[in-house]
Chains A and B, each alone.
Chain A
C-alpha cells in the first residue's frame, strides 16, 4: 500500500517537476516571475483535446504538437506583455502585475469561449490497462508521463549544457548586458526561453490532462500553486532543485491525500512553502543566488 502510494507520488511529482522546470528556467534567465505560465499549461491541454478529438490524432503525435503550440503561444504573449517592461527600474514588480492581469484576462476569455465544464480526452487514446511491476500497479498513462518527462528533461539539459544556444541562455542568465556585448542576440534568446518554458508547460498540461482525464480552463491556475512551492523549495532559478522538489511534492501530496485528507493537499503544500521561506529562503539545495535588498 505504502509502496504503491510512493510510486504514484513519484509519477505525479514527475509532472510537477516538468511544469516547474519551465517556470524556474524563465525566472533564472529572464529574471521575471511570469504568472501567465499557468495559462500555457491549460493551452497545451486544450490543444491536445482539439488535436485528438477534432483531428483524430493519437497521443504520440498530439503531445509534441500541443506542446510546441503552447510554446508558440508563450512567445507571443510574453513578447506583448514583457518587452516594454524589461528596461524599467521596477521591472520585477511591473512584470508580476502585467502578467497577473494578462493571465486573468486570458482565463476569462478562454472560459467564455470554451465553457467552464470539465472536458475529457477520447477514451481510446491510451489503454487503461495497468502493468504490474514488482507488485506495483502502473497505468500506461503514468508510464507515458514518466517517459515523456525523462525525455524532455534530458533534452533540456542537453540543450543547456551541450549547445551554443544553451551557452547563450546561460550567459544571459549570468549577465544580460555582458551577454549582449559578446554578440548574443538578446531578443532571440528571450524568445527561445519563452518558447522552451511554454513547451514544457504545454507538455505538462497534456500529461496531467491524460493522468486525471479532466481538462478545464483554470487547471493551470491550480497547477501554479504547485509551481510556486516547487520553485521556492528548489531555489528560484535552480533547475535540478526544481526536479527534486517537484518529485518530493508529488510524494507528499499523495501521502497527505492517503493518510490525512485530500482537501488538505493545498494547505500542506503551502505550509511547506512558508516553512522553507522562514528557514531556507535560498531553497533547500541552496545554490540559487538570492538577491537581498
Chain B
C-alpha cells in the first residue's frame, strides 16, 4: 500500500499524538460502558496498567507473538474486575466506586516493590509491535459493537437501569448481570488499551496508571456524554488534542480536567453530545 508523502510526513511527526487518540478513545469507551449502566468504576486506569504490565511480561518473558499477547492481556484485568465487581454490584452504587478508586494507587505500590514488575524503573525494551491500524481498527470495532448493542434491547435495558435501577429490575431487567457484564467489558477494553500503549511506546512505568489517569478517563466520557458510544470517543479526542498547547503545564491540565468534570456534572449532565440512540419500538 502506498501513501502520499505528505501523509507519511504527517503521520511520522504526530505519531505519538495519533496513538494517544486511539488509546484514549478505547479508554473513554471503557468508561462509557460502565457509566451507561448507571455505575461508576474508577478502575479503568488500573485495568489499563494491568493490561500493559501483563502484555509486556508475556512478550518479554514468554516471547509470545503479539497477536496472542493482545487478547491474553485482557485476562488479568477481567479477573480483577470480577473480584471487585461480583461483591460490590449487589450493593448500592457507591461500593464499586469506593472499591475501584484506590486500586490504581495500590497496584502502583505493588509494581514498585515487586522485582518482576521492574520496580520504580518500570519495564523497558518492549517491542513496538502495535501498529496504528490495529489501534484504530479495535477502536472502530469497539465503537460499532457498542453502538449496535446500544440500539438493541440490551441498550434499552441499560438506559432503563441508568435512570432507575429499581424500576428496571421490576420490569424484569437482570440489573446485576448487566452491570457485571459492563464492568468486564470495560476491564477488557482498558486492558487492550494498556497492551497497545505498552507496545507502541516500548516503555511502561509504575506511575502512569494512578489516580490522575483514572480521573482523566472519567473526564473523557463525561465531556462527550454517555447517550451513545461516539460521544465519549469525541470527548477523549477533544481533551487529547486540546492540551497539546499546554504540555509543559501538567498541573493546569489536571485542574482543567477536574473543573470540566465538575461543570459537566453540575450543569450539563448529558454531556456535550448528549443525543440518544434511536431504537425501534419493541
Interface residues of A (CB under 8 A from B): 27, 33, 35, 81, 84-85, 89-90, 92-94, 96-98, 100-109, 111-112, 221-222, 224-225, 228-229, 231-232, 236, 261, 263-267, 269-270, 273-274, 277-278, 281, 290-293
Contact = CB atoms under 8 A, between A and B. Distances in A.
Given A84-B266, A105-B254, A292-B91, A100 B106 contact: no
Contacts of A267: 106, 109-110
B83 interface: yes
B109 A266 contact: yes
Contacts, number: 159
Contacts of B260: 101
Which label, helix, strand, loop or mixed, suits the secondary structure of the B interface? Answer: helix
Given A108-B258, A112-B251, A267-B110, A93 B93 contact: yes
B59 interface: no
B98 A33 contact: yes
B102 interface: yes
B109 A265 contact: yes
Interface string B245-260: 0000001101111111
29 contacts: A33-B97, A81-B266, A92-B92, A93-B38, A93-B40, A96-B40, A97-B218, A97-B265, A100-B215, A100-B218, A100-B258, A101-B260, A101-B261, A105-B256, A111-B251, A112-B255, A224-B102, A264-B109, A265-B109, A270-B102, A270-B103, A277-B88, A277-B99, A278-B87, A281-B91, A290-B92, A291-B91, A293-B165, A293-B176
B44 to A, nearest CB: 13
A105 B90 contact: no
A112 B88 CA distance: 36
Given A267-B109, A277-B88, A292-B91, A101 B102 contact: no
A281 B105 contact: no
Contacts of A106: 258
A71 B51 CA distance: 41
A98 B211 contact: no
Interface in B76-109: 83-84, 86-88, 90-95, 97-99, 101-103, 105-106, 109
B26 interface: no
Contacts of A112: 251-252, 255
A94 B265 contact: yes
A229 B101 CA distance: 11
A108 B255 contact: yes
B219 interface: yes
Contact of B87 (A101, A107, A222, A281): A281
B50 to A, nearest CB: 14
Contact of B255 (A98, A109, A266, A270): A109
B269 interface: yes
Interface in B156-187: 163-166, 169, 175-176
A105 B166 contact: no
B130 interface: no
B266 A98 contact: yes
A100 B42 contact: yes
Given A100-B218, A101-B215, A109-B255, A94 B269 contact: yes
B113 interface: yes
B92 A291 contact: yes
B75 interface: no
Given A92-B93, A93-B93, A101-B219, A266 B106 contact: yes
Contact of B265 (A98, A104, A222, A265): A98
Nearest to A103: B258
Given A100-B261, A108-B254, A263 B88 contact: no
Contacts of B175: 293
A146 B218 CA distance: 39
User: Which 8 A-B residue pairings sit nearest by Cβ, starting from the closest?
Assistant: A101-B261, A263-B113, A105-B258, A104-B258, A108-B255, A108-B254, A112-B251, A225-B102
Contact of A90 (B38, B256, B262): B38
Contacts of B42: 100
A33 B218 contact: no
A33 B92 CA distance: 12
Nearest to A107: B254
A290 B113 CA distance: 36
A83 to B, nearest CB: 9
Q: Which of B42, B169, B211, B218 has the most CB of A within 10 A?
A: B211
Nearest to A31: B94
Contacts of A81: 262, 266
Given A90-B38, A100-B215, A270 B91 contact: no
A99 to B, nearest CB: 9
Contacts of B97: 33, 93, 96
Contacts of B255: 104-105, 108-109, 112
